[in-house]
Amino acid sequence: MKFSAVVEISGLAGIADPEGQTIERSLPALGFDHVEHVRVGKLIRFEIEAADKPAALEQCDELCRKLLANPVIERYDVAVTP
Amino acid sequence: MKFSAVVEISGLAGIADPEGQTIERSLPALGFDHVEHVRVGKLIRFEIEAADKPAALEQCDELCRKLLANPVIERYDVAVTP
């Protein structure tokens, strides 16, 4: 069975986010005074073949731990839909 | 009124995605044979102050066009929640 997977990789709380800070510093010059707490992460989409939804989630979790995320500084959230 | 905004920036169809390709090439060596069509994009989260939801969406759209996305090679999707 084929599933569409979406993985969000984001920095752990307390880890610096230079890209987000750079965006935030650019905002006043562009006239955006009401935007704050900008955080930039990665969104990875792929297709995965698995027997059922729990199996797909388990494989995605393993994939995140082994390749996609660095758990020392990043957290990940996985969602799969058939 | 304060809204939480989520912006997904992804490459337009046909635009090369070297990060996704690199992940895809690494998969067989790690034992993931059932993963394909890997695409990597950015997910930007921030808070925005606006009068109502349409105004928040309008501001986010302008922010994407002016700063966050490059419409020549990228598309963006915006979602806001109160």
pLDDT in tens, A32-81: 999 999 999 999 999 999 999 999 999 999 999 999 999 999 999 999 99
- Nearest CB to A45: which of B39, B49, B59? B39
Domains of chain B: 2-81 (3.30.1280.10)
Interface test with B, best of A2, A3, A4, A35 (most B CBs within 10 A): A35
Angle at A69 between CA A49 and CA B8, to 5 degrees: 80
Residue owning tokens 């650019």: A26
ipTM of the complex: 0.91
With CB atoms and an 8 Å threshold, state whether B45 touches A39: yes
- Nearest CB to A42: which of B30, B43, B47? B43
Answer whether A14's CB lies under 8 Å from A46's CB: no
* Cβ-based neighbour number of residue B55 at 10 Å: 16
> Which tokens hold the place of A57?
């989630």
Closest chain B residue by Cα to residue A63: B32
In the predicted model, residues of chain B with pLDDT beneath 50 are: none
Among A42, A25, A30, smallest CA distance to B59 is for: A30
pLDDT in tens, A2-40: 999 999 999 999 999 999 999 999 999 999 999 999 999
With CB atoms and an 8 Å threshold, state whether A43 touches B45: no
With CB atoms and an 8 Å threshold, state whether B34 touches A44: no
